[in-house]
Amino acid sequence: MVRDCASLDDFYRVCVCVTAVLVLAFGYDVFQKILRLICSLVLPETQAQKRSREIKAEMDVLKMEMAELSPRDDFAKYFKRDRMLNKLRDQLAEISSTEVKENVLRSAFITAVARVLTASIGISSMWWTSDVKFYRFSSPDTCWPLCNVMDMPEGLGRMFGYRESSDTDAYISLFVFLNLLTRVCRRLPKLIQGVRTPIPVAEKSKSQ
């Protein structure tokens, strides 16, 4: 049982640190999906999207009518619908180019916002939980200057002279450790698969 406020505060900081690591690991994809859903609900349908939907519906109707006609017995009706279908395809191709530009701009906006949200949560949480340590080195000279990088952001501050350092200031912060652990766990299946995949042996030429 947690008995004092300091322990509660430490527990809360650890929870925030773990949440921030999960956000950095998976938040970018999640934020993108959420933003796309919000944009689809909030932003109105453009004229190009509306016209594209109408053209596709007309094309489906023409295809159904052509399926019921015989190109030999109903040549005039079949050829008329075929010309209409080709005309609709040309219109759809023109509208699709406009839709591609709109989708590119929307995707760029969603990507930028998702990256800003992920970075903001990660950096702010890293600073707020900077005093939560995972491991203490026996000496600051151990793995120098890697130990300063592993103790972000306090370690970098000491390395560049923004923070005062002492003989015992050599840690691995919980934030950095969990980030490294998460990245290793995410890449481990690919590494294992790459090791297990046999290297293809080039076939000898039959002429030899």
Q: What are 41-96's pLDDT values in tens digits?
A: 777 767 777 788 888 888 888 888 888 877 777 778 888 888 888 888 888 888 77
* Token pair 């596709």: residue: 56
* Token pair 């015992």: residue: 168
Within-domain flag for 102: no
Within-domain flag for 170: yes
Within-domain flag for 175: yes
Within-domain flag for 168: yes
Within-domain flag for 7: no
Mean pLDDT value across the chain: 73
* Token pair 């209409």: residue: 84
Within-domain flag for 2: no
Query: Binning pLDDT at 50, 70 and 90, where does residue 205 land?
Result: very low
**Which token pair is 100?**
């591609």
Burial grade of 20 (CB within 10 A; 0-12, 13-18, 19 or more) = buried
pLDDT at 195: 64
Direct distance between the N- and C-terminal alpha carbons of the chain, in angstroms, rounded to an integer: 78
pLDDT at 206: 47
- 171 is in which domain, residue-wise? 131-187
Within-domain flag for 88: no
To the nearest 10 degrees (0 to 180), the angle between helices 75-128 and 5-42 is 160
Look at the chain and report how many structural domains it folds into: 1
CB half-sphere exposure, 106, CA atoms < 13 A: 19
pTM: 0.52
Query: Binning pLDDT at 50, 70 and 90, where does residue 139 land?
Result: low
pLDDT at 2: 38
pLDDT at position 180 over 70? yes
* Token pair 């026996």: residue: 138
Within-domain flag for 101: no
Dihedral of alpha carbons 137, 139, 141, 145, sign = positive
What residue type is 178 in one-letter code? L
pLDDT at position 188 over 60? yes
